[in-house]
Structures are given as C-alpha cells and as structure tokens.
Amino acid sequence: MKHLVGMITLALFASGLFAVVEAQAGQALDQALQARCARTTCTIRNNPGGDVQLFQQAAQEVMDEGKRLVIDGFCASACVVLADLARTNTCITVDAQIAVHKASIIRVTGKTVVDGREVPTGRLIRREDPPDSEDINSWVYAHGGYPTKGVKIIPVKDARQFWPMC
C-alpha cells in the first residue's frame, strides 16, 4: 500500500490555518466515500467532499473493483470529482444533490496536534476550478460559475445529462 503524501482530508478553519490529515491509497474508498459499500455497490447519502487526490484515488478504486456508485443524497465538492471520474459506474437517484464550488489550494506551513495526532497545517493560497469534466464545467459556467462561498446545486433534472438515473 503506497502512502500518499500531502493529502488534505481534514481542514480545520481556525485563525486562517488548516490542519491536514494524510491518507493511504488502499483506504480511499472507505475514507472518501463515507458510504455504505457492499460487495458491488457503494451508496453515497451525505458526502461533503474533502481532498481531491483522495477522491481521485477512490474513483480509480471504484473502476478497478468494478463497483457501482449510487448517489442517493448529498454529494459535494471532491465527491463530485469522484462521481465524474467514475461516471461509467455511477448513477443518481431522485434524492441526489450534486453540489460544486471552487477548490481550495493550500500550502503546508507547519504541524499541529489534532485528537492526539500530529498533522501538517497550512494556509489558503488560492481558490480555483475543480478538475471536473468539460461538460460539467460548461453547465456550471452557464449557471454562474463555481462559487467561492457556499455551493451551487446541480438539480437532478440537469445532472441526468452527466449520470444516468439508477
């Protein structure tokens, strides 16, 4: 199992600092999805996202393992990147809430202790568009762009052009 360095899975917003927790690639599905994964299906009901690299790894695991990804609730930020990358294995339900926003680019500047564990800290450098596919980017820009504060919900009726209904 490879240890992925620089993964940002937990950001604590205190005094403009961010705390960073690193993850291992073999655990990407468990950590990123925060979902119930059965043998062949993972169901997302409330996933706020997190570190884009972790969710990209989780998408690769979904594809490699041939799992089906069901979005049956809130899927935001990096969770949308996952659903986008694993699009051929992903479907949405009428209860899906697909939420997008600008990604945060963070520079690691030090270390702190969170729950008795030493983790890196950093500062927000900039916000930029997430690595979504061109068709999702086009929809977002046609509807005002990626917000820097809050999220933009892609309604199910529109999300159906990216993912089939389950």
Per-domain residue ranges of the chain:
3-159
C-alpha angle 110-125-108 in degrees, rounded to nearest 5: 20
Task: Render pLDDT for 50-100 as a digit per residue (tens, 0 to 9).
Answer: 888 889 999 999 999 999 999 999 999 999 999 999 999 999 999 999 999
State the chain's mean pLDDT as an integer.
81
The pLDDT score that the predictor gives to residue 6 is 32
Q: Residue 95 burial (CB < 10 Å; 0-12/13-18/19+)? A: exposed
| Percent of the chain predicted with pLDDT > 90 | 58
Task: Render pLDDT for 13-42 as a digit per residue (tens, 0 to 9).
Answer: 222 333 333 333 246 666 676 557 778 899
